[in-house]
């Protein structure tokens, strides 16, 4: 094949240790071991795709068998062994894909083949790619040969999933973890390749390639190949054109969306999202980029303008820096948890685009409810304020289910807040009040039952744990099933029944177990007691498989 017709990932594949980028320490270690004739029985290379696992395996095979020796390893004028190894047709260097040959029989054939010495080379070498795909029996069959192979035999394994390889195999290999390629090194490398290929691509477009490739050289070269094929020969490929080619939308749209999101402008937020969606951006990609911007807003102070990850340009960096000064970290962390939750629920609705729009709208309301949630106090100063607050305001008292769920996951209990009393109710309201006295939690539950407020009674018995009850103040903890309107309704009813303002405070303390749980525990004790009595034992004698599951007490017992 003509070298010029090869894809860039193959055309610029490293041939010697010096050609490797980003893996200098590993290359030097292996080079010294071979040079000093202390090479390992088996090498194990692990890392993400495209960082050089198979490439290093071939370089090691060539270094062991090159006719010129490792110090003068072939690069341009290849010897017979190096040429055959590069073309994957050397008789003594066998490359095997474990994904297609996973069984124990394949490994047995390999071991049988290893009994014979090399034909033309110094070492017989087995390169097994994606070695984690081998079956458990196949690994077990390899163990003895791996530990004590013949002097002429070497194993080289490559894998992307090191955790799937048995420890017994890993311990018999010299393991090397290949890291992602540093962004700056990768940028310089593809820029050099671009110049060799006489391509016209701006640095911003190259930085985008580096970002998308996520430290993989092969991915970067493949993307560069696409960029070179799509570019206009008369002009340089800029960032916007590159974004269209790679289906990568402009981050400035997302930053603008955040601005309007924090301002609470629903119309602009939805319009910007639709612009992004119309560019062909998938909802899952959008959410991942959304999380990335959230990360930058939260941690912008610890990042540098000249950061080597190329995720932000100068203008985007400054915009995010301004946004971060206006938003509390607690809000950003809450947004992060909410976005993660939405990401896991993405496949529930068939039209994911609708899910995204509703996700953004819910965030808008989440932001409104979260404003100063740790400090703001609701003031019922008069009849109008009181009724308006109970019916329409959604501040701290109207806890949305999504906020409740996210808060439970992040801090387990919502922080305390209280309702202050600034003035007495109007006389018109006082006429209707009956001034009922409520001395304890049990009396409150009993009163709810008398007033036919069964929903409140259920919530108090089932989802509320009492921490303290005194002086028109109830301090409670709650579980995730608590109704979102519970505090609002209870506050209203307490005022209606007693003629006094009550403070309902949420506590981080666990509190007493719920009334429902108390009843169940008491019932369990009685059931266990009944099971020890003679009557129950006689029943079991008559019906051996009988089981006592419930009891009913008489009113006077």
- Delimit the domains of the chain by residue range: 3-177, 183-246, 251-370, 378-506, 520-557
Q: Which pLDDT score is estimated for 6?
A: 76
pTM here is 0.59
Q: What tokens appear for 49 in the block?
A: 């795709």
Q: Which pLDDT score is estimated for 174?
A: 93
Collapsed DSSP state (helix, strand, coil) of residue 420: strand
Q: Which pLDDT score is estimated for 304?
A: 61
Q: Which residues contact 98 (CB under 8 A, 6 or more apart)?
A: 128, 129, 130, 131, 132, 133, 134
Architecture of the domain delimited by 251-370: Up-down Bundle (1.20)
> How does DSSP assign 101-164, residue by residue?
--SHHHHHHHHHHHTSPPSSSS-EEEEEETGGGS-HHHHHHHHHHHHS--TTEEEEEEES-GGG
Q: Which pLDDT score is estimated for 423?
A: 38
Q: Report strand pairing: 153-159 vs 42-46.
A: parallel
**How far is the CA of 190 from the CAs of 203, 218, 242, 250, in angstroms?**
10, 10, 15, 22
> How does DSSP assign 494-542, residue by residue?
HHHHHSS--EEEE-SS--SPPHHHHHHHHHHHHHHHHHTSHHHHHHHHH
Count of C-beta atoms within a 10 Å radius of residue 341: 14
Tens digit of pLDDT per residue, the chain (557 long)? 455 557 898 889 998 888 898 888 999 999 999 999 899 989 999 999 999 999 999 999 999 999 888 888 888 788 888 888 888 888 999 988 888 888 888 888 888 888 888 888 899 999 999 999 998 898 998 898 888 888 899 999 999 999 999 999 999 999 999 998 888 889 999 999 999 988 888 888 898 898 888 889 999 999 999 888 876 666 788 888 888 888 776 778 888 898 888 888 899 999 999 888 887 788 888 888 899 888 888 888 777 654 445 666 667 778 888 888 888 888 888 889 889 988 888 888 888 888 889 999 988 887 665 544 444 444 444 444 444 544 444 334 444 444 444 444 444 433 343 344 443 444 444 434 456 888 888 888 888 888 888 888 888 888 888 888 887 888 888 777 788 788 888 888 888 888 888 888 877 777 777 777 777 777 778 877 877 787 777 777 777 777 777 777 665 55
Count of C-beta atoms within a 10 Å radius of residue 557: 4
**What's the first-to-final CA gap in the chain, in angstroms?**
95
Element holding 212 (H helix, E strand) = helix 203-213
Classified by CATH at the fold level, domain 3-177 comes out as Rossmann fold (3.40.50)
Alpha carbon distance 389, 491 (integer Å): 11
3-177 and 251-370 share one fold: no
Q: Which pLDDT score is estimated for 310?
A: 61
**How far is the CA of 462 from the CAs of 134, 289, 482, 518, in angstroms?**
53, 41, 9, 10
Count of C-beta atoms within a 10 Å radius of residue 337: 14
Q: Which pLDDT score is estimated for 309?
A: 55
Count of C-beta atoms within a 10 Å radius of residue 74: 21
Answer yes or no: are the C-beta atoms of 179 and 53 closer than 8 Å. Answer: no
Classified by CATH at the fold level, domain 183-246 comes out as Helicase, Ruva Protein; domain 3 (1.10.8)
Alpha carbon distance 527, 549 (integer Å): 8
Q: Which pLDDT score is estimated for 183?
A: 85
């Amino acid at each position: 094949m003509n070298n010029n017709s090869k894809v860039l990932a193959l055309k610029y594949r490293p041939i010697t240790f010096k050609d490797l980028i980003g893996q200098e320490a590993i290359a030097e270690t292996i080079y010294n071991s071979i040079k000093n004739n202390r090479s390992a029985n088996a090498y194990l290379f692990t890392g993400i795709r495209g960082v050089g696992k198979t490439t290093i395996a071939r370089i090691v095979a060539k270094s062991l068998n090159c006719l010129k020796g490792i110090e003068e390893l072939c690069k341009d004028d290849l010897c017979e062994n190096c040429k055959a190894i590069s073309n994957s047709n050397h008789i003594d260097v066998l490359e095997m894909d474990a994904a297609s040959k996973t069984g124990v029989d394949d490994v047995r054939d390999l071991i049988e083949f290893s009994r014979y010495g090399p034909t033309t080379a110094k070492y017989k070498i087995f390169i097994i790619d994606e070695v984690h795909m081998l079956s458990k029996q196949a690994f077990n069959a390899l163990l003895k040969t791996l530990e004590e192979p013949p002097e002429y035999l070497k194993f080289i394994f490559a894998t992307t999933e090191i955790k799937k390889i048995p420890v017994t195999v890993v311990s018999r290999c010299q393991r090397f973890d290949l890291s992602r390629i540093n962004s700056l090194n990768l940028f310089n490398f593809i820029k050099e390749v671009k110049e060799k290929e006489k391509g016209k691509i701006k640095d911003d477009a190259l930085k985008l390639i580096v970002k998308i490739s996520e430290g993989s050289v092969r991915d970067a070269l493949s993307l560069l190949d696409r960029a070179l094929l799509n570019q206009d020969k008369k002009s340089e490929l800029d960032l916007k054109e590159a974004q269209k080619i790679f289906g990568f939308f402009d981050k400035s749209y997302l930053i603008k969306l955040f601005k309007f999101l924090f301002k609470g402008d629903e119309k602009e937020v939805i319009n910007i999202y639709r612009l992004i969606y119309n560019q062909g951006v998938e909802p899952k990609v959008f959410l991942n980029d959304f999380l990335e911007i959230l990360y930058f807003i939260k941690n912008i102070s610890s990042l540098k303008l000249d950061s080597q990850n190329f995720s932000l340009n100068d203008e985007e960096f400054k915009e995010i820096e301004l946004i971060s000064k206006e938003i509390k970290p607690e809000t950003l962390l809450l947004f992060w948890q909410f976005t993660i939750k939405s990401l896991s629920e993405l496949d529930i609705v068939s039209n994911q685009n609708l899910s995204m729009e509703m996700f953004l709208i819910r965030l808008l309301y989440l932001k409104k409810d979260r404003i100063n949630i740790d400090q703001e106090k609701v003031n019922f100063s008069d009849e109008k304020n009181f009724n308006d607050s109970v019916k329409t305001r959604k501040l701290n008292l109207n806890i949305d289910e999504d906020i409740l769920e996210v808060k439970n996951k992040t801090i387990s209990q919502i922080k305390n807040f209280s309702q202050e009393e600034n003035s007495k109710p109007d006389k018109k309201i006082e006429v209707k009040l009956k001034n009922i006295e409520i001395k304890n939690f049990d009396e409150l539950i009993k009163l709810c039952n008398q007033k036919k407020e069964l929903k409140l009674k259920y919530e108090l018995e089932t989802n509320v744990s009492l921490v303290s009850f005194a002086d028109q103040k109830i301090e409670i903890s709650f579980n995730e099933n608590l109704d979102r309107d519970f505090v609002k309704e209870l506050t209203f009813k307490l005022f209606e029944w007693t003629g006094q303002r009550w403070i309902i405070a949420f506590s981080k303390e666990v509190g007493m177990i719920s009334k429902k749980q108390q009843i169940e525990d008491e019932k369990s004790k009685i059931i266990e007691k009944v099971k020890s009595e003679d009557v129950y034992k006689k029943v079991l004698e008559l019906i051996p498989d009988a089981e006592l599951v419930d009891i009913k007490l008489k009113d006077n017992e």
